[in-house]
Structures are given as structure tokens and as C-alpha cells.
Amino acid sequence: MTTTYMIAGGGTGGHIFPALAIGQALRDQVPEARIVFVGTRYGMETSLIPDAGEKLLTLPIRGLLGKSMLKKAAMIWRIPASFLLSVIYLLRFRPKVVIGVGGYASAPLLWTAAMLRIPTLIQEQNAFPGLANRMCAKVAQLACLGFEEAGRHLACAGIVTGNPVRRDFCEGKPWSRKRPLLLVLGGSQGARSLNERLPVVLQRVIEPEMQLEVVHQCGRKYVAEVEQAYRDAPFPVRVVSFIEDLSKLMDDVRLVVCRSGASTIAELKLVRVPAVLIPFPAATHDHQTFNAKSLAALGAAELVPENDLDRLESLLQALLGEPERLQKMVTAYPRTRVNSADQVARLALQLQERRPVKDILKEQQAHVS
């Protein structure tokens, strides 16, 4: 007999990859588990989740923040329609637990699940929670936190689990290459400022004797222009729209230049690679800066605000010219919770058993102490 669990959320890879990791952990612990993912019709989940061989249901909800009053009025029907569909999905599949990972789709499903008295759990990846999880925390029984400071902004009880990372992150055969890598990551949708600035800067700072190869992940819509920007580069360059198999690169990465989404931070902690973090300035409540500060404070990364990119060239020159400095950044990383997805799954199963949250918290505190 199958046991169903629903995982809701999406939009970007930062929500989707933790969701997939949690789903796999649930399957490991409950072999008969059926995992049903719920997202929107407009996010990256429409490709990433089916590509992972998983079932995806969608809701018509879209974000209203930043939209004109006219567009908000035209889209308002999507909210009640999403709640109605949530009722239909929950009654049809009857999940034992509903888990929200952030993103617009999580709010109607978790609120509806709470009204139907289905156990609910949220997983918050960022140091400052997004709007959807702040809303869901009002009805969720428990929050699994990627960063301890996120708990201060959520209405429900929280446990620091770290962020779930894809199971295959440290598996797989490496790409064929002969040189150490400098990796540029623009996030799952690409980053215009990194795509414009990094090709120019790297061609100034990478010396032939460094024997570096550059892999630049730029987002699908920027591939042609980034390839053009590197056309005269005196070092090997590989420009890609998106990297699903990031684990295959990390063994040979000397330095990463990237945004500071929660999944990126979690993966960096796991592989202990020095990083230059450039937070996305338009992220909700500037949560990427909060994320980046947590790593920079350890000495494992350098934080460069987007309005201070002029110092990027001198910083990269210094880092690439001082191998001992990079090594200090490696050793500054903490020991990470490599079983974060497993821990989230275990907490979900305890909620399934209707264990009181206060007992779960007490047991967790005993383990920590």
C-alpha cells in the first residue's frame, strides 16, 4: 500500500532541488512512498521535476508583487482557483504530510492542508524567509531551517537542519578536462551583471601560467552574448546555460564566482570551495546578502555587493595569485550537515505519527546537547 507525501513550491532551482532531495529522502525511509510535487505552471519546476522522473501537479497562482493594479486585478482569480485546486488535489491523493519549500504554489496548498488537518512542514532555505514561507509559517507545525537566523522571522517552531542538497552532488564522473577550473555561476536563471562583467575581468586577471579553464553558467537567454564576450579569451572557456550535474565539476574547482542563493551556499559548504559571492540585489528582502554574510563571516568567502563590482578585478587578482589564501578559505568552512534531507524527512514522519511538536523539539534539543 502506497503512502503519499506532497511537496509544494518551486519557481527557481533554489526551491526545486531541495524539494527533489527531500522527496528522495522520504523514499529512502518509506520504500512504498509516493511523492507528488505541486508547483506553478510558470516556474522551472515544469521542466526540472518531470526531467527527474517525478509527478508534477500545477496551480495557476502567480506572484502579485511588483505588478500594476490592472495586472493584479486581471490575476486575482488565480488565488481562489489555486485554493480550489489544492482541495481537489488533497482529497484525491490524501497525503500523510504536506511539505512546503517556498515559492507561490506552497501557500495555497499548505493553508488548505492545515484546514483539512493534514500535518504540515516548511523548509526554509534562506537566512531571511521568503513571503510564501512567512505566510505558510502561520499554519505550519514546524519549520526546517537552512540558517538559524531565519527562525526569528517565522511564526512556527523551527529546527536548524541545514539545506537539503541533491543526492548526486558528490557523485558522477567528472567532465573531461586537463586544467583546474574557475567556475562562474549566475543562478538557475542567469545573472546579467555577472555575464557582462566577468568575461572582461577574467581576461585581464587570468595569466597563462595559471593554467585555468573557465566554466561560465549564464542562463539560456545569455549564451550567445557570453560566448561572444569570450571569443578572444587566451584560456579555455565553456559557456553553458544551466548545470544540472554540478557535482561533476567541483573536484577541480579552484574558485567560484556566484550569486548567493541558499542552495548554492549549501553546496559550497558541502564541497568546501572558496567563493566570491555577489548577492542578487533584487532578491526579496535582500535575502541573498544575509546568506552571503553567513559564509563571509567564517572566512570561507568574499562578499562583493553588486554596486561595488569595480573592486572585483583586484580581488580576483589577489585570490588567484595567492594559493595559500584560497587554502585558508577552504579550511574556514564548517563541518556541514550532509544528511539535511534525511533529517527533514524524519521530522515529516514524526509529524505523520502525530507526535506533539514540543516533544519533537525536546528530542532535537537533547541530540544537540
Is residue 13 part of an annotated ligand binding site?
yes
Residue 317 parent element (H or E) = helix 312-321
User: Is 136 a residue whose pLDDT tops 70?
Assistant: yes
What pLDDT, on a 0 to 100 scale, did the predictor assign at position 248?
Answer: 73
Q: Is 243 annotated as a binding residue?
A: yes
Give the pLDDT confidence score for residue 175 in this predicted structure. 47
Decide if pLDDT at 27 tops 50.
yes
Q: Which three cell numbers stand for residue 38?
A: 505541486
288 known ligand binder? yes
Q: Work out the burial of residue 80: count CB atoms within 10 Å of its CB; fewer than 13 is exposed, 13-18 middle, 19 or more buried.
A: exposed
- In the chain, the amino acid numbered 111 is W
Taking 60 as the threshold, does the pLDDT of residue 176 lie above it? no
Task: Give 220's Cβ-side CA count (13 Å radius).
Answer: 3
Q: What mean pLDDT value characterizes the chain?
A: 89
Region 271-276: mean pLDDT is: 93
Domain boundaries, the chain: 3-165+338-368, 169-332
User: Is 247 labelled a binding residue?
Assistant: no
In the chain, the N- to C-terminal Cα span, in Å, equals 38
Q: Is 12 labelled a binding residue?
A: yes
Q: CATH number for the 169-332 domain, one of 3.40.50.2000, 3.10.129.10, 3.90.1170.50, 3.90.1150.10?
A: 3.40.50.2000
Matching residue, cell 570561507:
300
Give tens-digit pLDDT for 51-64: 999 999 999 987 65
Residues 162 and 140: their CA atoms lie apart, in Å, by 18
Rounded CA-CA distance 110/122 in Å is 9
Element (H, E) at 73: helix 69-75
Check if 3-165+338-368 and 169-332 are the same fold: yes
Amino acid at 334: P
Of residues 66 and 219, the one with the higher pLDDT is: 219
The pLDDT of residue 120 is above 70? yes
Q: Please name which of 33, 5, 25 lies closest in space to residue 109, comparing C-alpha atoms.
A: 5
pLDDT at 203: 95
Annotation-wise, does 163 bind a ligand? no
Distance separating alpha carbons of residues 365 and 147, to the nearest angstrom: 16
Banded pLDDT at 39 (limits 50, 70, 90): very high
Residues 6 or more apart from 94 whose CB is under 8 A from it? 4
> pLDDT tens digit string along 227-256?
999 999 999 999 998 887 777 778 789 999
Q: Is it the case that residue 172 has pLDDT exceeding 80? A: no
* 26 close to 58: Cβ distance less than 8 angstroms: no
Tell me what the mean pLDDT of segment 25-45 comes to: 94
For 208-219, write each residue's pLDDT tens digit: 889 999 999 998
Consecutive H or E run containing 181: strand 181-185
pLDDT (0 to 100) of residue 179:
74
Q: Residue 188: its pLDDT value, please?
A: 62
- CATH number at 3-165+338-368: 3.40.50.2000
Please say if the pLDDT value at position 11 is more than 90: no
Q: Given pLDDT bands bounded at 50, 70 and 90, which one contains residue 173?
A: very low
Give residue 67's pLDDT band: very low, low, confident or very high (50, 70, 90).
low
**Rounded distance, CA 298 to CA 312, Å?**
20
Q: What is the mean pLDDT of residues 178-203?
A: 86
Give the alpha-carbon dihedral of 292, 221, 41, 131, to 10 degrees.
Answer: 20
